[in-house]
Structure 1
Amino acid sequence: MAQVQTYWQIGRHIVGFEQGGQARAAYGKQLLPQLAQTLTNEFGKGFDASNLRYMRLFYQAFPNCDALRHELSWTHYRLLLRVDTPKARLWYMQETAEQNWSTRVLRRQIAIKADPQTATVYPAALADHYPIQDNRRSRSS
């Protein structure tokens, strides 16, 4: 959970301080690569521009740090960022915590579109029988 909270704080910093609360920085695509270089020099691996984009999106998708679930890993949250609506994202987050879904099961449930409206969840044992469809969208800084 410490990693998740740290990444949330970095996302908060990017949005709040580096971007002045805006969805994107006014000075273009240089923000994340420059910040990535600074953080990598100071702390080591794990702070490339791509990961910083996820941290920013993470903060924007989950603006209340107290609402984060300690049962979920950073990989769980990265998968949850693929879910389009906040309501569905919350449903997947709750199901993952309550059902103790691994990241593999969560990925499958999202791929086969387990239905948050009807609470239809496909058994984890069946997850291997469904192909994963990569529904990630290209996200720019």
Structure 2
Amino acid sequence: MGTEPTTTGTDRATWWRLARHALEMAVAMVVGMVALEPLWSSAWPDLGDHVTAHVLVMATDMSLGMAVWMRVRRHGWPGVLEMCAAMYAPFAVLLPFHWAGALSATALVAAGHVLMVPAMLAAMWRRRHEHGC
């Protein structure tokens, strides 16, 4: 008799719902950035020259798009706020390295976006019951 773990249909369904929700969140974040970027460009034409402000504005745009979609999907405010915090957390960790000159602007933006993924997944996993899992 083997003691190998088996994956049940329920396990697959749970992961599928989380993956689908993550994809929805990514789309909502992109929509937020695309929709709000023209507003920022007209209000603050040289925003791109201010790296700290630029990454915080990007995180805000993504958070707004994601928050709107989460509310449409009837998520509670605590879950929405945790997901928004996941957008800012990577930059909160990385900005001091940028300010110290140890991280270029390009590396800051790239690393911040990459680190958002595990931050979002952690927030989603913490509230997986809200995603029907």
Please say whether Structure 1 and Structure 2 have the same fold, judged by a TM-score greater than 0.5.
no
TM-score, structure 1 normalization: 0.26
TM-score, structure 2 normalization: 0.27
Report which of the two structures shows the higher radius of gyration computed on alpha carbons: 2
The higher-RCO structure (CA 8 Å, 6+ apart) is: 2
- Higher share of residues assigned helix: 2
